[in-house]
A and B are shown apart, each in its own frame.
Chain A
């Protein structure tokens, strides 16, 4: 037996789902109502989440010493650090985002955007080497694989095919030197075809993921929602 709140949630969820699917027929007031409600709810959900999961536990709580326990023997769990007050500097700097609304000071917005862009660039630099270099080295697999002193033809073929695909696709995007000759053009074309297979496989996976969501929603409507409506009607 579903609780009243769960029942209400299921009924509302079903109505919302039907409203969104009604767009398949044409745009209508029912769809627009739930679309705008969704945007409103999402916009109201994330700021509190940022406050609850980041600002409070990581900044404000340690800043004001709310995370310090006073033990019964007169000691404390850890000394509150006044260094946390240094967070006031990035907080005030972050407030420069709001100069957007004051024309006279709006240039200051670019200070904070510039700083964030610089940080993003720094993070890209930092993330490139540990993420991409191992991928490059691991991509160059042995072309001939031996297993029990015999050649494993299947794995060897897969490795050759893997490296051929990798190099030909990269070569297709290599514009530094002009591509000349039949071999070079054929190699680049092979890369293009292999990329098409990659996009097709990628597309197929994406469609299936979305379809799984669609099936889940339809199952929800056909089972949970219909059950909830029947319970409501009695």
Chain B
């Protein structure tokens, strides 16, 4: 009885899991729910969230497998140490780098808010939104807030130059941006004085926000933690990934030596097509015949594309049938075993 309940519960949840996407496809929900696309993206995020919660499983498993090897000094304990060191280093550096980037964007909070505020004033006045203060009053509030933040930002921006100098980085990029930033300061103040149109003020504030973002970004980019992150990411992660995948190129060539021996007519066809495609892509091929690139393109656009499409159509139909069987829990009974 108990096991039946568990198995049925799993089957029910499997059905519910797929129900939303099937209904969303079959029923034109846009007609019944306002702003449905927004609701749909939120629901999809909920689905992604379920999967994201499993992110620590990989780390836990690595710790269990390699940690136990290390603790009990089993065979390969040094490799386990290297793996766990790499894991801990990248985790901590990534977290610190993220914290640093958050700090950098926090510096921009007021300018972001002002930029957002002008946009909102414009859109509210266009849509004649009710329940908000009058435009004139809002512009005065914007002016007061801007002037209040001028000194705060002046201090923050001046600090950027000092930090860059302290870090012995190229200060020339900072100087020109600082100059532009201060020119915009005067322009915005002037725009408020002459009661300039809101879109002009919006454009100026947005431009100033971009320059400030560039300056704070320079501080972030030249920070120790960002450089360490770059060293790990570009220096090791990207290089090791590229080396691993290029190594596969050599093994594919070795496999081809075995697979492409002309033992049958089909193998000859495969070898011929592969040779033509490879020769058509390199300059050496042109030396043999100027038509090779055109032959390569024809091969890729005609037999390759149509045969691949036929396989894809067949596989997709099979995938659809499988999906239905999975959704209705009739594919394979994964609700069996000692727990069920």
User: Which residue of the partner chain, among B85, B145, B304, B319, contacts A124 with CB atoms under 8 Å?
Assistant: B319
Q: Are B310 and A169 in contact (CB under 8 A)?
A: yes
What is the bound-complex CA distance between A130 and B106, given in angstroms?
A: 42
Count residues of chain A with CB under 8 A from any CB of chain B. Answer: 119
Q: Please give, as numbers and ranges, the residues of chain A lying within 8 Å of B83 by CB-CB distance.
A: 36-37, 39-40, 43
Q: What's the nearest-Cβ distance from chain A to residue B159, in Å?
A: 22
Q: Are B243 and A36 in contact (CB under 8 A)?
A: no
Q: Please give, as numbers and ranges, the residues of chain A lying within 8 Å of B314 by CB-CB distance.
A: 170, 173
- Given A87-B46, A111-B10 in contact, is the A39-B86 Cβ separation under 8 Å? yes
- Given A119-B47, A126-B25 in contact, is the A41-B236 Cβ separation under 8 Å? yes
Within 8 A of B (CB), among A1-46: 5, 8-10, 12-14, 16-17, 20-21, 23-24, 32-46
Q: Are A128 and B316 in contact (CB under 8 A)?
A: yes
Q: Are B22 and A115 in contact (CB under 8 A)?
A: no
- Given A128-B316, A211-B249 in contact, is the A44-B94 Cβ separation under 8 Å? yes
What is the bound-complex CA distance between A161 and B55, given in angstroms?
A: 48
Within 8 A of A (CB), among B47-89: 47-60, 62, 79-80, 82-89
What is the bound-complex CA distance between A117 and B327, given in angstroms?
A: 7
Kindly state whether residue A181 has any CB partner on chain B within 8 Å. no
Q: Are B303 and A41 in contact (CB under 8 A)?
A: no
Q: Are A93 and B50 in contact (CB under 8 A)?
A: yes
Kindly state whether residue A95 has any CB partner on chain B within 8 Å. yes
What is the bound-complex CA distance between A203 and B267, given in angstroms?
A: 12
What is the bound-complex CA distance between A122 and B55, given in angstroms?
A: 23
Residue-wise interface mask of A (162-183) relative to B, using a CB-CB cutoff of 8 A (1 in contact, 0 not)? 1101110110010000000000
What is the bound-complex CA distance between A97 and B51, given in angstroms?
A: 9
Q: Are A136 and B313 in contact (CB under 8 A)?
A: yes
What is the bound-complex CA distance between A110 and B14, given in angstroms?
A: 9
Within 8 A of A (CB), among B253-306: 253, 256, 265-267, 269-278, 281-282, 299-300, 302-306
Q: What's the nearest-Cβ distance from chain B to residue A45, in Å?
A: 5
Q: Are B49 and A121 in contact (CB under 8 A)?
A: no
Within 8 A of A (CB), among B317-337: 317, 319-320, 322-324, 326-327, 329, 334-335
Kindly state whether residue A77 has any CB partner on chain B within 8 Å. yes
Q: Please give, as numbers and ranges, the residues of chain A lying within 8 Å of B329 by CB-CB distance.
A: 114
Kindly state whether residue B183 has any CB partner on chain A within 8 Å. no
Q: Are A197 and B117 in contact (CB under 8 A)?
A: no
Q: Are A48 and B113 in contact (CB under 8 A)?
A: no
Q: Closest residue of chain A to B48, judged by CB?
A: A54
Q: Are A197 and B247 in contact (CB under 8 A)?
A: no
Q: What's the nearest-Cβ distance from chain A to residue B135, in Å?
A: 10
Q: Are A43 and B59 in contact (CB under 8 A)?
A: yes
Q: Closest residue of chain A to B240, judged by CB?
A: A38
Kindly state whether residue B144 has any CB partner on chain A within 8 Å. yes
Q: Closest residue of chain B to A139, judged by CB?
A: B309
Q: What's the nearest-Cβ distance from chain A to residue B256, in Å?
A: 7
Q: Please give, as numbers and ranges, the residues of chain A lying within 8 Å of B252 by CB-CB distance.
A: 203, 206-207, 210
Binds A, one of B174-182, B185-193, B225-233: B225-233
Residue-wise interface mask of B (1-33) relative to A, using a CB-CB cutoff of 8 A (1 in contact, 0 not)? 000001001110111111111101100000000
Q: Please give, as numbers and ranges, the residues of chain B lying within 8 Å of A95 by CB-CB distance.
A: 53
What is the bound-complex CA distance between A100 and B56, given in angstroms?
A: 12
User: Which residue of the partner chain, among B49, B90, B230, B265, contacts A45 with CB atoms under 8 Å?
Assistant: B90
- Given A16-B243, A192-B266 in contact, is the A118-B327 Cβ separation under 8 Å? yes
Q: What's the nearest-Cβ distance from chain A to residue B266, in Å?
A: 5
What is the bound-complex CA distance between A49 and B94, given in angstroms?
A: 8
Q: Are A13 and B269 in contact (CB under 8 A)?
A: no
Q: Are B17 and A118 in contact (CB under 8 A)?
A: yes
Kindly state whether residue B36 has any CB partner on chain A within 8 Å. no
What is the bound-complex CA distance between A121 and B324, given in angstroms?
A: 7
- Taking A74-B133, A91-B49, A166-B310 as known contacts, 18 extra A-B pairs with beta carbons closer than 8 A to each other, sorted by chain A number, are A44-B88, A45-B233, A46-B55, A52-B98, A69-B112, A71-B120, A94-B50, A116-B51, A121-B18, A126-B22, A128-B323, A194-B306, A197-B303, A198-B304, A198-B311, A203-B270, A207-B249, A210-B252
List the 9 closest A-B pairs by CB distance, nearest first.
Answer: A40-B86, A118-B17, A94-B53, A210-B249, A200-B273, A44-B90, A204-B277, A122-B21, A9-B235
